[in-house]
Structure 1
Amino acid sequence: MTVTLIIFVAIIVFGLITGTITTIMAFKLLRNNEEKHHLRKSILMDGIPTEAIIHDIVQTSSSRDGRPGVRLDLTVTQVDGRTFPTIVETYIPITHIPHFQKGNVINVRYIAMGNERKVEVQDAYLP
């Protein structure tokens, strides 16, 4: 009888610990996604507008609200004329797909964060 009680208590404790860890991880993931979304909006609203050349476009396995996810290999031209390469993962509306082809010039915005630059595509989908 005591062995059964110990096993029962161990199962309950294990379940509580597992549930707590799962809940904490879910909240961290949600907060991280919210922070990324806020940063993207901030770049699109306050970033420096410029143009970028598409060197490569690859569809990712993700989509959001029916819009395909893509990985864009870009060369961004800064306001001072210097360029820098970057890779942006974003979602594009299906109606904009013809604009997102190799060699095309697209509008982007960027911000400098220390030595790093964060880039967002202006015509991309932002939920």
Structure 2
Amino acid sequence: MYIIIAIVAISVVTAIINIMFVSKKIKTHRQSNKMRKNILAEGQSAKAIINAIQATNASLGGQHPKVILDLAVTMPNGETLQTAVETYIHIVHVPSFQPGKEIDVKYLIIDGIPKFEVVGAVVL
């Protein structure tokens, strides 16, 4: 009898821990998307050259692959910054995101660090 109670208690505790973990992950994801939308809406424009594109195993609905873009961003003051941006792009736009192509980005300085987003990327 005590073994059954112990097993049920362990199962309940495990379920609670899993729910807390998933809730935190969802909250973090929502905050990230909010920041990305804010950068695209409020950010300053800049141009970037794609140095490299790396596919990941993630996608949205099979039509929006998640990629990592290695970028050389030319800031409005002429300074060039190197950065990597993880983003989703529509599958039909993949040819526009190849090494050597110039793309539009937006950025905001957050906590003293420039944060970049790709104009035309998919943001939920």
TM-score (normalizing by structure 1):
0.92
Deviates more, 1:21-30 or 1:92-101: 92-101
**1:68: how far off?**
1.0
**1:101: how far off?**
1.0
- The answer for the alignment partner of 2:45 in structure 1 is 49
**Which consecutive unaligned segments of at least 5 residues does structure 2 have?**
none
Larger Cα-atom Rg: 1
SS at match of 1:69: strand
**1:55: how far off?**
0.3
Of 8, 17, 22, the match for 1:12: 8
- The answer for the alignment partner of 1:76 in structure 2 is 73
**Number of residue equivalences:** 123
1:105 paired to 2:106: no
Give me the whole-angstrom Cα distance separating, in 2, the residues matched to 1:74 and 1:111. Answer: 16
Give me the whole-angstrom Cα distance separating, in 1, the residues matched to 2:119 and 2:85. Answer: 12
1:62 paired to 2:58: yes
Identity %: 37
TM-score (normalizing by structure 2):
0.94
Give me the whole-angstrom Cα distance separating, in 1, the residues matched to 2:41 and 2:112. Answer: 21
Deviates more, 1:49-58 or 1:106-115: 106-115
Letter in 2 for 1:25: F
SS at match of 2:100: coil
**1:36: how far off?**
0.6
Give me the whole-angstrom Cα distance separating, in 1, the residues matched to 2:20 and 2:54. Answer: 34
Runs of at least 4 residues of structure 1 off by over 3 A? none
**1:95: how far off?**
2.0
Letter in 2 for 1:74: L
**1:115: how far off?**
3.2
- The answer for the alignment partner of 1:26 in structure 2 is 22
- The answer for the alignment partner of 1:125 in structure 2 is 122
Give me the whole-angstrom Cα distance separating, in 1, the residues matched to 2:57 and 2:4. Answer: 43
**Which consecutive unaligned segments of at least 5 residues does structure 1 have?**
none
Give me the whole-angstrom Cα distance separating, in 2, the residues matched to 1:106 and 1:27. Answer: 35
What RMSD over aligned residues (CA atoms) do the two structures have, in Å? 1.0
